[in-house]
Amino acid sequence: MGYYNSSEPKKKRSGYFASSFTGLIAGALLVGVVLPGFTDNEQATESAVNGTSTTEASNNVQNVSHIVTTDVTETVEQTSGAVVGVSNLQKAQLNPFMPAAESEAQEAGVGSGVIYKKDGESAYIVTNNHVVEGAEQVVVTLADETELEAEVLGTDAWTDLAVLKVAGDKIETVAEFGDSSVLKAGEPVIAIGNPLGLQFSGSVTTGVVSGTERLIPIDINQDGKEDWQSEVLQTDAAINPGNSGGALINSQGQVIGINSMKIAQDAVEGIGLAIPINSAIPIIEDLESKGEVQRPSIGVGILDLNDIPQQYRESELNLPADVEGGVVVQSVADGSGAAKAGIKAYDVIVEMDGEAVNSVMELRQHLYNESEVGDTLKMKVYRDGKIQEFTIELTESL
């Protein structure tokens, strides 16, 4: 998951008299404002009269220090310590004559993570699946540059989330989760992470919520076909490679999204995407406690009806000509809910629980978002040109 890839010269002013007059007024006003400076000049003149050189007095120049504190700086200060760097280390066998076991682990990628929990001697971090994918070792870098070896408790490719566990004795800041369901377009947000790696660790960008409940197609197995639609938040806060897994926070310092990707196209500017925290929380809980996300399964191998040439729809599937969408059953797993219900190969699924099913993606969305293991599912399928109804008990994915 993830889609990566000088000032102008001043113009001459017109109206010399008007400018001079305006400057005179401004100068008069400044007399009442810049008192310290003028007071120093008066002291310098007085020193010259008393025998002290004007040059010596004017050398006493002082810098004025003013600490700027805003809502953003305060929010970042209380939250940034919970955002960490996540390094994906993999062994690279540079010498073909050296055994793989003796090759050193090297940094294959860097992302970000959010410390969301501290329990006893351990602390827990959420990041993106693609940040730690393929890692043989994961190292977490805290805000003070302390490095901790992390254990990957679980990953989930469908939601692009992963949970890590580290020793908690050096963890001081833990992020607070907010409520992403109440976000509104235009609401200010802050992104914290490590764009381009640890060289720019703890970078802060600001923006607004550009949109909620955006659906982005995802190709999970990289076969060129869309397998899933991920619901994300859209923001114009800059999100770059390395920000993945970092925090998108609201004005209260609460995490309302896990930064995940950006759309990088020549014609696109300022479209960053984050996983809503309300969607992420149940996944995080499953990964922390079970190491995986338990999703319901029918127990069939399937493909889109649109991938079947028209001639085979008629000759092999015996479908009526007006059936344009559906899911074709390729195979049925022994002992699965589908097998027990009587589903067979070449059945064409067109409806589930009263909702039309036009594609594999729609079937998955219904199963994963609206059903749980143990639920019963009513299904309508075409078999030999006729509609049949089945009731299937959903089991855990095989």
pLDDT value at residue 103? 64
Instruction: Tell which residue, 241, 262, 237, has the closest CA to residue 194.
Output: 241
Q: Which residue has the higher pLDDT, 242 or 373?
A: 373
Please check whether residues 28 and 118 belong to one and the same domain. Answer: no
- Residue 1, Cβ neighbours under 10 Å: how many? 24
pLDDT value at residue 116? 98
In a domain, 311, yes or no: yes
In a domain, 287, yes or no: no
Please check whether residues 307 and 241 belong to one and the same domain. Answer: no
CATH code (residue 351): 2.30.42.10
Please check whether residues 137 and 161 belong to one and the same domain. Answer: yes
Please check whether residues 204 and 272 belong to one and the same domain. Answer: yes
Active-site annotation holder among 80, 87, 112, 130: 130
* DSSP assignments along 232-257, one per residue: EEEE-S---TT-TT-EEE-TTS-EEE
Task: Check: CB of residue 155 under 8 Å from CB of residue 287.
Answer: yes
Q: Which pair of structure tokens corresponds to residue 275?
A: 């996983």
Using DSSP's 3-state secondary structure scheme, residue 198 falls into helix
What is the rounded CA–CA span in Å between residue 64 and residue 345?
80
Q: Which domain holds residue 308?
A: 296-396
Residue-wise pLDDT for 301-357, tens only, equals 999 999 999 888 888 898 988 898 999 999 999 999 999 999 999 999 999 999 999
How many domains are contained in the chain? 4
Active-site annotation holder among 156, 160, 236, 347: 160
Amino acid at 132: V
Kindly report the pTM of this predicted structure.
0.76
CATH code (residue 274): 2.40.10.10
Q: What φ, ψ does residue 357 adopt, rounded to 5°?
A: -120, 110
Q: Which of 122, 140, 167 is the last residue of a domain?
A: 167
Residue-wise pLDDT for 222-273, tens only, equals 777 778 888 899 999 988 888 899 999 999 999 999 999 765 555 556 688 9
Is 160 known to be catalytic? yes
Q: Which of 221, 252, 281 is the last residue of a domain?
A: 281
Lowest mean pLDDT among 24-28, 93-97, 203-207: 24-28
Is 14 known to be catalytic? no
Please check whether residues 162 and 250 belong to one and the same domain. Answer: no
Mean pLDDT of the chain, nearest integer: 82
Distances (CA, A) of 377 to 58, 321, 341, 396: 87, 27, 10, 14
Please check whether residues 256 and 319 belong to one and the same domain. Answer: no
Is 244 known to be catalytic? yes
Please check whether residues 312 and 273 belong to one and the same domain. Answer: no
Q: Which of 281, 314, 335 is the last residue of a domain?
A: 281
